[in-house]
Amino acid sequence: MIQGNMQVEKFNLISIMKHAARWHPNVEVVTNTVEGGIHRIGYYALYQRIKKLANALDRLGIKHGDVIGTMAWNSWRHLECWYAIGGMGAVSHTLNPRLFPDQIDYIVNHAENRFICLDITFLPVIANVLDRLPKLEGLILLTDREHMPDTSHISIPVLCYEDMLADEPEDYDWPEFDENAASSLCYTSGTTGNPKGVLYSHRSNIIHALTAGGADVFNITAQDSFLMIVPQFHANSWGLSFGVPMVGAKLVMAGPHMDGKSVYELATAEKCTVSGAVPTVWTGLLDYLDANQLKLPHLRETFIGGSAVPRSMFERFERDYEVDVIQAWGMTEMSPLGTMNRPLPYWDDLSYEERMQVRCKQGRPAFGVDMKIVDEDGNILPHDGETSGKLMVKGPWVIERYYKAEQSALDAEGWFDTGDVANIDEHGNMQITDRAKDVIKSGGEWISSVDIENTAVGHSEVQIAACIGIAHKKWEERPLLVVVKKEGMNPSKESIIAKIAEEHAKWQLPDDVVFIEDMPLTATGKIDKKPLRKMFGDHYKDL
Ligand code: ADP
């Protein structure tokens, strides 16, 4: 081999923040804080604090490879933790506060967190499981002295974050290490069994961020003000905590304030041009805008992913608010970017209706992700937009094995099975038809629960809908639609079924519709079908 003559620089996440501090020193990181009020800081000042934090963590005895948990909303302090911990060669581990206590203690123990950095509001969550965390050495409360809560009931040392930083020097000698060293850890919500850890590396995160900024992906530039609503604890904050500072864009964080009113006020005050969140957050914003007859003058586009984007959401955003909606698909195991649905030249020749159909798909992978659909025996399926099969992926930011697992998570050819069922059309647009475990199997045919849900929420009086397969004597399973009505509305079962029938064959229609008050959601804000299956498992038993 003839070696190239170029410089070799090992990737370290801290290089992103060094760059932002040096070349975009006054660009702001803005947070709607847990304590109340808006906080703002420039990238230069933020980097100075990151170095102070690294010194403070050294003083605590944190070493290369140690794991430090964070249970916090998006904030400048949380961002400082990610960069300082990763930059010094330790691992920052996001804990989702919405998990059940059993899952939290399992995760903290499994990952062997030495310390946990947390928002004051999450002290009760940790206090609740503290006696089950024997290896935890201490807590770091992400606040200042003034807002420190009473911690006299906590049996391990509790430190105040701002006190820790106060007297530390603003110099830090970042160590050099292999770019494949672990930087951060995120567990998937564990819809079945225990949560599983995905351990990202400096290399995987940086390559992911380099791609994510691209024009056909997140398209983030130094001119943008990015409203990062997706929490840092959800799937690596979609890589935005790295991708946004990398290009020197302004980073605006909603913190815990994700209701329609707060999102509207922050987006407007900070002139946010781009944003990213799961569909449930956007429903809240759209309802607030509708009710108060408001507009979003600055927002150019928004990324929606995490679960399928219903057609009605595209239409409301674009028709009523002139905001482009870009659908993204990904998963924790993919850092999380899988596909984006950006326009292609052939769209120009499509009718509105045809265009809408393509836009409801999950899109195409950017360079770095390879993708295929296969049948049960592993045979590759055609890209005809109809045949659906198991969606398999590979790439440098795709998982190889779960944290501490002895076995690889890949098949013999190196592909990772996403657990999603999808089809791919002739233009390469991938469409998720279901999660493998949610597919409804009726009389040997598959019914896509996602498809049915998306049409159902197009009914003007339906707030949110979940379609589940219920055991049925004759057909094996039949679909049942579980609906939460819009406030003050009273849709009939018949009208909802009629809406779904506009786009689906008769055999695909739910046999019944039931109404509930609140939809159970997972820790990442998606519909949680497990309790629904329990609640309605017998619904068709007498049929
Ligand atoms: P969790 O399962 O813990 O909520 P993830 O966020 O990693 O965590 O979930 C990834 C899954 O979410 C994907 O495998 C897919 O089923 C679903 N998903 C993500 N984005 C989309 C989308 N745009 N459309 C449909 N499903 C999606």
pLDDT in tens, 333-359: 999 999 999 999 999 999 999 999 999
Domain span at residue 495 reads 440-536
From the list 271, 441, 485, 486, the catalytic residue is 441
Distances (CA, A) of 520 to 269, 288, 452, 525, 532: 33, 22, 18, 9, 8
Among 212, 96, 39, smallest CA distance to 523 is for: 96
pLDDT at 542: 80
Give the CA dihedral 149, 150, 155, 156, nearest 10 degrees: 40
Whether the CB of 331 sits within 6 Å of ligand 1? yes
371 pLDDT above the threshold of 70: yes
**9 located within any domain:** no
**Does a cis peptide bond (omega within 30 degrees of 0) precede residue 336?**
yes
Same-domain status, 269 and 122 = yes
Residue 320 alpha carbon to ligand 1 centre in Å: 27
Q: Over 90: is that where the pLDDT of 250 sits?
A: yes
Residue 491 lies in a domain: yes
Confirm or reject: Cβ of 188 under 6 Å from ligand 1. Answer: yes
The total number of structural domains in the chain stands at 2
CATH assignment at residue 453: 3.30.300.30
* CB of 307 sitting under 6 A from ligand 1: yes
Query: pLDDT digits over 141-198, tens only?
Result: 999 999 999 999 999 999 999 999 999 999 999 999 999 999 999 998 755 578 899 9
Q: How many CB atoms lie within 10 A of CB 477?
A: 18
Q: What is the mean pLDDT of the chain?
A: 95
Shared-domain flag, residues 114 and 255 = yes
* 519 has pLDDT over 80: yes
Catalytic hit among 70, 94, 188, 418: 188
Residue nearest to atom 10 of ligand 1 (CA): 331
* Same-domain check for residues 304 and 448: no
Whether 308 and 450 map to the same domain: the answer is no
Q: Is the C-beta atom of 327 inside 6 A of ligand 1?
A: yes
> What integer is the mean pLDDT of 530-542?
91
Q: Is residue 195 part of a domain?
A: yes
φ, ψ for residue 531, nearest 5 deg: -65, -30
Please tell me the pTM assigned to this model. 0.91
Q: Is the minimum distance from the CB of 246 to ligand 1 under 6 angstroms?
A: no
Asked whether residue 365 is domain-assigned, the answer is: no
Task: Kindly state if the Cβ of 391 falls inside 6 Å of ligand 1.
Answer: no
Of 308, 306, 326, the residue nearest 317 (C-alpha): 326
Q: Is residue 417 part of a domain?
A: no
Please answer whether residues 117 and 138 qualify as being in contact, where contact means their C-beta atoms are separated by less than 8 angstroms: no
* Atom 25 in ligand 1: residue holding the nearest Cα: 308
**Among candidate residues 292, 321, 350, the one where a domain is terminated:** 321
| Ligand 1 centroid – CA 368 distance (Å) | 19
pLDDT score recorded for residue 439 = 87
- The sign of the dihedral angle between the CA atoms of 495, 321, 275, 399 is positive
State the pLDDT confidence band at 499, using cuts at 50, 70 and 90.
very high
Instruction: Look at residue 496 and tell me if it is in a domain.
Output: yes
Q: How far is the CA of 168 from the centre of ligand 1 (A)?
A: 41
Does residue 408 belong to any structural domain of this protein? no
Select from 88, 89, 141 the least CA-distant residue to 118.
141
Which CATH number belongs to the domain containing residue 172 in this structure? 3.40.50.12780
Percent of the chain with pLDDT over 90: 88
Alpha-carbon span 370 to 237, nearest angstrom: 22
Query: Does residue 482 sit within a domain?
Result: yes
pLDDT value of position 215: 94
* Final residue before a domain boundary, out of 296, 321, 346: 321
Residue where one domain finishes, among candidates 300, 321, 342: 321
